[in-house]
Each structure stands twice: as structure tokens, then as C-alpha cells.
Amino acid sequence: MTNLKDKVAVVTGASRGIGRAIAIDLARRGAAVVVNYKSNTAAAQEVVAAITAAGGRAVAVQADVSRMDEAHALIKAALDAFGKLDILVNNAGTTRDALLMTMSEEDWDAVINADLKSVFNCCKAAVKPMIRARSGRIINISSVVGLAGQGGQTNYAAAKAGVIGFTKSLAKELGPRNITVNAVAPGFIPTALTEVLTEEQKQAVLKMTPLGRFGKPEEVAYAVSFLASDEAAFITGTVLTVDGGLVMQ
């Protein structure tokens, strides 16, 4: 098992779904984890309790990462709690689906801010301590929708495709500082985020997935833990799809 002993990680949007699984898997491998959330305090505290019950170290930190000041406060809280920052996982995200004809400016801004600007905000705050340490791992959660597009999700697809361009550009900037920056693009993983889809839409995705099933949050987490590890030291600027073969690049 990949060893992350003595590493310190921040996972945004870790109170539930994929972020929860990422926080628990990083902790299981030895990392101290900051469990970020926006509003669901009880859920975030439950994640911390699950990690500490298993012998790990974790704290919950509330911050709306779509806001620059709160993203900076989150990274400061991590440094205050654990003294350093090795791994940043930008996982927080949301959807507000609508056809372009009916999509409001507010729906557009909310998704771009939560899914793309949040990545800019947290990376801005995290790169200073990482550059000082001359090492770091940044993993951004994109989506296959950012690669292939999806009707009804122009806002989300633009944000997730933006995350990929951002990841590649930052990987070029930070390579000389020994900091890797990669993206993980999940396919369909049943969580609160996907509950809004109709049974018909879910069956259509299933039909196009060669492995013939949906993914589990833990299966995304394993990919993140690998990219966060020392073993992944020569991998940067890549997009790792975790999608049962739904979108082959």
C-alpha cells in the first residue's frame, strides 16, 4: 500500500461523496488530513471521527473555497494544525444543470466559481509553502465532462475543461520547483451530485461504459492517493480518467 506517513494533506469538499473517500484513503495511508467543507459541519465532523477512530489524524475546517480569502484561511489553518503542507486535493465542486437557453448568469457564475475559481484560489494559497519546501503534490478533480462535453452542462464542462488547462499550465510552472500538478477525471460515481439525474440518463451512461457499472468514490480516491505518493514523482500535467472506459483519450 502506498505510504503517505508524515505527509499533510488538504482535501476540499471532503464532508461527503468523493472528497470524503479521498480524505479517508489518504489518512489510511498515514497522512494527516484537513477535511474542508462549506456548510455541512456534522458530516465533516463524522469524517474526522472516522479517521481518528482508525488511528489517523484529521481536523475539519470550514471554508467556502470559491472565495479567495477563505481559501487562504483554509491553507493557513492546515499549516497551523500540522506545520506544513505536502498534498492539496482540489475536489470541491457543484452543478447547476440547464440548457444554455435557460441557464441563468447566476447558474454560470456559481459553477465557475465553485469548480474552477476554487482551484485557482487554493493553489494560489498553497504554492508558497510548497515552493519553500521545494516539494508538493497538487491533484485537481476534473470530470470526463470536461473532456467530452455534456448537453445541459455548459457551465460545468467549461469549469472542468478549465481545470485541465489550469493543471497543465501550473505543472509547467511548478515542475522546476519539484511540485507535481495532475488532474483526475472521474466518470459516473453515484453521490449527492449525481442524484439529480433521471434513471434514463443513468442507464444511458451505463450503456456507454465498457466496464458495465458505475464507479465507487473509493476508486477515485485510490487514483488520488497514487498521484500524491512518492512513487508518482515523475508524473505531472496528466489527466487520469477513472471512468470504467467511458471516455478514452
Q: Examine residue 16 and tell whether it contacts ligand NAP (CB under 6 A).
A: yes
Q: What's the Cα-to-Cα distance from 92 to each of 10, 14, 61, 141, 248, rounded to whole Å? A: 11, 7, 13, 8, 24
C-alpha span between 182 and 119 (Å, rounded): 12
Which residue lies nearer to ligand NAP by CB, 14 or 174?
A: 14
- Active-site residue, selected from the candidate residues 37, 108, 120, 156: 156
Which residue lies nearer to ligand NAP by CB, 82 or 188?
A: 188
**Residue 222 among the catalytic residues:** no
Q: Min. distance of Cβ 32 from ligand NAP in angstroms?
A: 19
Which residue lies nearer to ligand NAP by CB, 37 or 177?
A: 37
Instruction: With CB under 6 A as the rule, give the number of residues binding ligand NAP.
Output: 32
Contact (Cβ atoms closer than 8 angstroms) between residue 55 and residue 12: no
Q: Examine residue 28 and tell whether it contacts ligand NAP (CB under 6 A).
A: no
Q: Examine residue 7 and tell whether it contacts ligand NAP (CB under 6 A).
A: no
Q: Examine residue 194 and tell whether it contacts ligand NAP (CB under 6 A).
A: yes
Q: Which of residues 50-89 bind ligand NAP (CB under 6 A)?
A: 64-66
**DSSP-based three-state secondary structure for 224:** helix
Stretch in the footprint of ligand NAP (CB under 6 A) among 9-17, 26-34, 171-179, 197-205:
9-17
Q: Examine residue 114 and tell whether it contacts ligand NAP (CB under 6 A).
A: yes
Q: Min. distance of Cβ 73 from ligand NAP in angstroms?
A: 12
Judged by CB under 6 A, the residue of 28, 59, 91, 224 near ligand NAP is 91
Q: What is the DSSP letter of 215?
A: -
Q: Where are the beta strands (DSSP E) in 83-216?
A: 87-90, 136-141, 179-186
**Alpha helices (H) along 54-117:** 68-82, 105-112
Q: At 45, give phi and psi (nearest 5°).
A: -65, -30
Which residue lies nearer to ligand NAP by CB, 134 or 211?
A: 211
Maximum alpha-carbon separation in the chain: 51
**DSSP-based three-state secondary structure for 218:** helix
Q: What share of the chain is helix, strand, coil (3-state, %, to 5)?
A: 50, 15, 35
> What residues are annotated to the active site?
156
Residues that bind ligand NAP (CB under 6 A): 12-19, 36-40, 43, 64-66, 91-94, 114, 118, 141, 143, 186, 188-189, 191-194
